Amino acid sequence: MMTSMILAALVNTISWQQIDLNQKLILNDPIQLNQKITLPAGTKLVVQDIIPLDELRVLSYKMNITPCSTAIKSEVSDMVIINDLYGTQLDKDCSLNVYLELGDLSKPSLFSTIAR
């Protein structure tokens, strides 16, 4: 209980607009990608690319899960919709893709930064 309170005090949820390349993030809540794979809250990620998909009015955030567990290194998943807002998909080598409609940029993201 005390550990979760300390962690909550150190974590700063950010909006999608605040996410930058090479930024280190942690996942706020678990994401179940399929029956075998759930990324737990606290999973660490590094932003590798942010790609505008203009024809769809969507941004694609490509992130690497660090460290990359051998249990999921070769796993892939179909797209999973989170909170009826965001699409997530796991690719090989622990690459997580998150898709966001441009209209949702100012909303809180699924991620936080750790205060230093």
CA dist., res. 80 & res. 88, Å (int): 5
Q: Is the pLDDT of residue 115 over 60?
A: no
CA dist., res. 83 & res. 30, Å (int): 12
Is the separation of the CB atoms in 72 and 90 below 8 Å?
yes
C-alpha pair distances (Å), 64 with each of 9, 10, 88, 107: 25, 22, 13, 22
Q: Is the pLDDT of residue 5 over 50?
A: no
Q: Give, for 5, the enclosing helix (H) or strand (E).
A: helix 2-10
**pLDDT tens, 71-89?**
899 999 999 999 888 999 9
**pLDDT tens, 10-59?**
558 899 999 999 999 999 999 999 988 999 999 999 999 999 998 889 99
